[in-house]
């Protein structure tokens, strides 16, 4: 029987290496609330990522919600419809109105040239996504934000470890939010973090994730419980020892796919982003009109062969019931995003995938199987 291949499979370090961490937790009985592993993981992540400050969370979504609260964002926020639902949901959870702007079809990121036209007196921030780990147009977005006095919060859920022009991509904007969900390049089962430029904002974020407590008797805001436990933090420390190997193997897989698929009629690969040290979070292909099958036809053909790719991102956030009535969600405003969402297919990409499985997938896509 052939094994089913999913779009991703989480990387797990050897179990016996995790046991000593658990023994230490059992020994000192610190389970959560900024425990020793939590502090050590925050500092190890700052070193690894090359950022000044970071606050750990239970998930990327809670981190997004808290990031908006930390900067006191209200009114309208400009964002992309081409993302995972959590990006826009974090706005609705804060009673903020998302304003969707179309994407650049080459990078699949927010089209910075269209941002200015979407700004209104209610606009307070821009929330771009580094889609597939490829850098958003940080230069132009930063300039627009400076001119109009807007905040920028990057949804960097795909961008763990990515470097742009020699430094961490997470250093751009006012805040960047990471996800350590099981399906991401770096996982702590569930988890996330807010990367922040200074200690003052980190302190506010740390209060917010702990119900708003500044000390035993002072509550400064209606905070939430977003604290990462010692189980996850210690696991993250162990995962960090393997992340360079994980990303290197992903790079190898990206190379194999590119070699095997570059000349397939009707299949377009995303160009590698410039000036970027990548993390190879996903392997999206665009199934164009001159391919022999529709995108969904290829999707089904792969499934018939026990290969389960995913249509990231289809359907578009802007087409979901809680968004589709909004003026900015109209198809005519989001032509490129709608087109790309109909063409995209993300092929299996994870460090433990075997080369012969990659070849089998490429054979199916290229019509040789």
Ligand X SMILES: *Cc1c(COP(=O)(O)O)cnc(C)c1O
Interface ranges with ligand X (CB under 6 A): 59-61, 83-84, 86-87, 129, 155, 157-158, 179, 181, 192
Residue (177 or 362) nearer to ligand X, CB: 177
Q: CA 56 to CA 306: how far, in whole Å?
A: 37
Measured from the CB atom, the residue of 179 and 333 that comes closer to ligand X is: 179
- Going from the C-alpha of 117 to that of each of 13, 86, 147, the distances in angstroms are 47, 24, 13
Helix (H) or strand (E) holding 143: helix 138-148
Nearest 10 degrees: Cα torsion 331, 334, 340, 343 = 0
**Of residues 11 and 84, the one with the C-beta less far from ligand X:** 84
- Residue 60 beta carbon to ligand X: minimum distance, rounded to whole angstroms: 3
Q: Which of 83, 268 has the CB closer to ligand X?
A: 83
Burial 165-183 (b: 16+ CB within 10 A, else e): eeebbbbbbbbbbbbbbeb
Q: Quick check: bond before 315 cis, omega within 30?
A: yes
Minimum CB separation of residue 61 from ligand X in Å reads 3
Q: Which helix (H) or strand (E) holds 53?
A: strand 53-57
- The CB-of-80 to ligand X minimum distance in angstroms stands at 9
**How many whole angstroms separate alpha carbon 98 and alpha carbon 116?**
15
**Least separation in angstroms between CB 59 and ligand X:** 4
Length of the chain: 369
CB nearer ligand X, residue 61 or residue 234: 61
| Cβ distance to ligand X smaller for residue 5 or 59 | 59
Quick one: 89 or 163, whose CB is closer to ligand X? 89
Q: Does residue 133 come out as left (phi exceeding 0), alpha (psi in the -120 to 50 range) or beta?
A: left
Q: Which residues contact 251 (CB under 8 A, 6 or more apart)?
A: 278, 280
- Kindly state the smallest distance separating residue 146's Cβ from ligand X, in Å: 25
C-alpha distances out from residue 260 to 237, 286, 355, Å: 36, 15, 12
Q: How far is the CB of 174 from ligand X (least distance, A)?
A: 17
Nearer to ligand X, 60 or 98 (CB): 60
Query: In the complex, which residue's CB is closest to ligand X?
Result: 60
Least separation in angstroms between CB 155 and ligand X: 5
**Shortest Å distance, C-beta 194 to ligand X:** 12
Question: Backbone dihedral region of 6: left (phi > 0), alpha (psi from -120 to 50 degrees) or beta?
Answer: beta
Adjacent-strand bridge partners of 179: 192
Q: Closer CB to ligand X, residue 87 or residue 109?
A: 87
CB of 191 to ligand X, least distance (A): 7
Q: Which of 266, 286, 268 is nearest to 337 (CA)?
A: 286
């Amino acid at each position: 029987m052939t094994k089913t291949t999913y779009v991703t499979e989480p990387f797990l370090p050897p179990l016996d290496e995790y046991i000593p961490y658990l023994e230490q937790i059992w020994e000192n009985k610190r389970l959560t609330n900024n425990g020793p592993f939590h502090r050590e993981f925050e500092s190890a992540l700052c070193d690894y990522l090359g950022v000044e400050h970071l606050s750990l969370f239970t998930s990327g979504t809670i981190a997004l919600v808290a990031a908006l609260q930390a900067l006191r964002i209200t009114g309208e926020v400009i964002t992309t419809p081409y993302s995972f639902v959590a990006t826009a949901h974090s706005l609705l959870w804060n009673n903020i109105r998302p304003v969707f702007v179309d994407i650049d079809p080459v990078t699949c990121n927010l089209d910075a040239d269209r941002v200015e036209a979407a700004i209104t007196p209610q606009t307070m921030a821009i929330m771009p996504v580094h889609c597939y780990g490829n850098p958003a147009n940080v230069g132009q977005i930063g300039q627009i934000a400076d001119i109009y006095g807007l905040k920028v919060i990057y949804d960097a859920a795909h961008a763990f470890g990515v470097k742009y022009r020699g430094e961490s991509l997470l250093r751009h904007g006012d805040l960047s939010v990471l996800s350590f969900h099981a399906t991401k390049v770096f996982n702590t089962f569930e988890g996330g973090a807010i990367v922040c430029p200074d200690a003052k904002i980190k302190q506010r974020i740390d209060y917010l994730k702990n119900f708003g407590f500044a000390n035993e008797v002072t509550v400064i805001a209606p905070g939430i419980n977003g604290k990462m436990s010692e189980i996850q933090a210690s696991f993250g420390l162990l995962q960090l020892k393997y992340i360079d190997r994980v990303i290197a193997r992903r790079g190898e897989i990206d190379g194999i796919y590119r070699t095997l698929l570059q000349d397939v009629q009707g299949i377009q690969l995303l160009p590698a982003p410039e000036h970027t040290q990548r993390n190879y979070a996903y392997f999206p292909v665009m199934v164009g009109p001159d391919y022999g099958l529709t995108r969904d036809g290829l999707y089904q053909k792969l499934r018939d062969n026990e290969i389960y790719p995913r249509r990231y991102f289809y359907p578009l956030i802007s087409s979901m019931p809680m968004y589709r009535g909004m003026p900015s969600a109209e198809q005519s405003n989001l032509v490129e995003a709608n087109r790309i969402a109909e063409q995209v297919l993300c092929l299996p990409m994870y460090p433990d995938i075997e080369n012969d499985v990659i070849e089998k997938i490429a054979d199916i896509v290229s019509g040789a199987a």
